[in-house]
Amino acid sequence: MARKELINLKDAIELYIQTSEAELKSWKTIYGYEDALKLFLGFCGNIPLEDLNEDHMRSFVIHEAARRRTVNGEEVEYSTETIYKRYKVVKTLVRWLHERKFIDEDISQYTRNPKRDVTLPEVLSEDQIKKVFRLLKGRDYRDQVIFETFLYTGIRLGELAELKIDDLNFETGRMKVFGKGRRYETVPMGPMLMRDLKSYIDRHRQPAFPAEQAVFLNKTGTKLEQRGVQMMIKRLLKQAGVTKKVGPHILRHTFATHYLRRGGSIEALRKILRHSNILVTAKYTHLMDEDVDSDYVRIAIERLGKR
């Protein structure tokens, strides 16, 4: 039988959010949960949990597909990706309620994932990468090393911003990052990146106080926050004439695509990007050059935009 502590949907959602916060899930993940579940609650109303059924889930998807939002004065529909993500949050909530015996049955098993359009990630060409490196000449050396770190490792914005000096192991050639899932993982560094990181740390990095551990610092000598990194990369890419959706994540896509083009295996890439599902990594195969033979092409990711 279901537990009776939770009697309505609102209580269930609040407890689920609190539990997710206690599990130290990222603020971005929590925000996504709150946004989707607020919409679901608004659609269903504060119904008793015992009344929750698969029709609520199906109807919610239909409702979201019919909703519109205003962009630049025009009414536009939500993308299939947005609807899919909101449905997945609801599905996760339902499964969580069933696992903890707040409901008797996992009603999500009777629903199907909504269709989503397959969109290929935007990437930088080698010419664009070379242009960025030309722009970086004469600028703050820190900016060049940040760009290289994104481009040559594929790490995420939050992971780069949280890098500490002790996370860089120049003997093993690996850096430790605090990744998604709130856990530490290691990522390989190539010889050129290690050389430039050492040069930045030894000659250019000026901490405000000796105990400062952040690798990348702002002008005051304290940790450079995510927002600062993001704005720097956006400005740099726009100055290079990149008209795509710009930001640090385009460099992760660029790393992945060029890694495969240089003969890297998809399984090795999955491990570097730390994807739990290889199907997520597989999207990059659509961007590969057809004439690449991974049996003969040596990986040389650090030759990207070689100056």
Residue 292 belongs to a domain with what CATH number?
1.10.443.10
How high is the pLDDT of residue 91?
A: 96
Mean pLDDT of the chain: 85
Catalytic status, residue 234: no
> What pLDDT is recorded for position 287?
55
Distance CA 256, CA 82 (A): 23
Final residue before a domain boundary, out of 49, 83, 110: 110
- What does the pLDDT average to over 234-250? 86
Mean of the pLDDT values across residues 152-170? 94
Residue type, 27: W
Q: What is the pLDDT of residue 291?
A: 38
Say which residue, 5 or 163, is predicted with more confidence: 163
Confidence of residue 235 (pLDDT cuts 50, 70, 90): very high
| Burial grade of 120 (CB within 10 A; 0-12, 13-18, 19 or more) | exposed
pLDDT confidence of residue 278: 66
Same domain for 154 and 290: yes
- The residue from 110, 134, 152 where one domain ends is 110
**Average of pLDDT values for 4-15?**
84
134 — pLDDT class (breaks 50, 70, 90): very high
Please check the confidence at residue 230 and state whether its pLDDT lies above 50. yes
Is the model's pLDDT at 20 over the cut of 70? yes
How big is the CA angle at 194 (ends 197 and 253), to the nearest 5 degrees?
90
Residue 289's pLDDT band (boundaries 50, 70, 90)?
very low
Between 280 and 21, name the one with better pLDDT.
Answer: 21
Pairing mode, strands 68-71 and 174-179: unpaired
Partnered with residue 214 across adjacent β-strands are 164
Q: Per the residue annotation, which of 86, 131, 252, 258 is the catalytic one?
A: 252
* Integer angstrom CA distances of residue 134 from 92, 130, 138, 210, 306: 46, 6, 9, 33, 10
Cβ–Cβ < 8 Å for 205, 157: no
180: confidence class by pLDDT, cuts 50, 70, 90: confident
CATH number of the domain residue 25 falls in: 1.10.150.130
Write down the pLDDT at residue 285: 63
Domain membership of residue 1 (yes or no) is no
Identify whether 98 is a catalytic site residue.
Answer: no
What DSSP string describes 55-116? HHHHHHHHHHHH-EEEETTEEEEPPHHHHHHHHHHHHHHHHHHHHTTSSSS-GGGGS-PPP-
Mean pLDDT value of segment 186-202: 94
Residue 296 CB coordination number (10 Å) = 7
Q: Is 204 assigned a catalytic role?
A: no
Q: Which residue has the higher pLDDT, 142 or 71?
A: 142
Question: In this structure, are 15 and 80 located in the same domain?
Answer: yes
253 noted as active-site residue: no
Q: Are residues 95 and 204 in the same domain?
A: no
Q: Which of 58, 91, 176, 249 is catalytic?
A: 249
Q: Which domain holds residue 80?
A: 9-110
Longest Cα–Cα distance of the chain, Å, equals 69
Give the DSSP H/E element, type plus range, for residue 176: strand 174-179
| 39 and 23 Cβ atoms separated by less than 8 Å | no
The pLDDT confidence band at residue 295, using thresholds 50, 70 and 90, is: very low
Q: What is the mean pLDDT of residues 114-125?
A: 76
- By percentage, how much of the chain surpasses pLDDT 70? 86
For residue 179, what pLDDT is reported? 75
The answer as to whether 276 is a domain residue is yes
Q: What is the DSSP string of 198-260?
A: HHIIIII---SSTT--BSSB-TTSSBPPHHHHHHHHHHHHHHTT--S--SHHHHHHHHHHHHH
Query: Which of 98, 180, 195, 283 is labelled catalytic?
Result: 180
The two three-digit tokens of residue 260, written as one number:
């495969």
Task: Name the pLDDT band for 3 (thresholds 50, 70, 90).
Answer: low
Tell me whether residue 58 is one of the annotated catalytic residues.
no
Q: Which amino acid is at 86?
A: R
